[in-house]
Amino acid sequence: MNNMQLTLGAVEARVLGALIEKEITTPEYYPLSLNALANACNQKSNRDPVLHLEEGEVRKALNRLESQSLVRSVGDRRVTKFEHRLQEVFNFYRPEIAVLCELLLRGPQTPGELRARASRMHAFEDLESVHSALRQLAKREPPLVTVLPRQSGAKEARYAHLAGETPPTDPTALPTTAKKDDRQLSASSNRQIETLAEEVARLRSEIADLQSQFAAFRKQFE
């Protein structure tokens, strides 16, 4: 089944991404009930854009995902819960599914952004490990990710998933008459600030670990 073509709408991509994320980050609460899944889809952190989905919308997305054998329901008569089947369908390695999950939850991102944001699901040793996962996803048949044309002034190109109903487009391909309004500019600035904050938090965590290791090493000679 690993050569199947995914055709996900925006809500389906969010539902599938939320299921993948929660399986990895909070396995003790997985699979998810309909209510828990709706809350996961609508959470404000690690989502772009932030959505406000009703349970009925989530249920419709689940039905469409079940028809593609990507999700199944489990549990007893009292509470029905849901889990994804991506691992059975594609047999992903952990770096691949972490990257794909982030692309489903936040849309196109650079490798640097993916490394910082996906670290809660997989600890990427360096940027090359992210590129490796992206290459593996791009080699799938059919491909699951693609690189977008580099934006003017950007140091890194962005990558997008190919699981949507329509191919991803790059904002630079829009007509020159199209202008971003103030809210779009604000959202872009907020995402950049969020990315920097996440990178700083990751570096602080690494420094704290090194300090702890050094302190333990010194105690051996005291």
Q: Answer for the pair 74, 31: CB distance below 8 angstroms, yes or no.
A: yes
Mean pLDDT for 148-152 is 88
Query: What does each C-alpha distance from 70 to 13, 17, 94, 189, 200 come to in angstroms?
Result: 11, 11, 17, 35, 36
Q: What is the mean pLDDT of the chain?
A: 86
DSSP letter assigned to residue 28: G
**10-90: which CATH topology?**
Arc Repressor Mutant, subunit A (1.10.10)
pLDDT for res 200: 72
Residue 71 corresponds to which tokens in the numbers above?
Answer: 């999700």
Instruction: Please write the tens of the pLDDT for every residue from 94-130.
Output: 999 999 999 999 999 999 999 999 999 999 999 999 9
Mean pLDDT for 77-91 is 92
Alpha-carbon gap, residue 149 to 38, rounded angstroms: 34
If 0-12 CB within 10 Å is exposed, 13-18 middle and 19+ buried, where does residue 168 land? Answer: middle
Alpha-carbon gap, residue 159 to 163, rounded angstroms: 13
User: Which residues share a beta bridge with 32?
Assistant: 82
pLDDT at 154 over 90: no
Q: What 3-state DSSP class applies to 82?
A: strand
pLDDT at 42 over 70: yes
- Sketch the domain layout of the chain as residue ranges: 10-90, 180-222
Alpha-carbon gap, residue 207 to 52, rounded angstroms: 37
Alpha-carbon gap, residue 155 to 112, rounded angstroms: 10
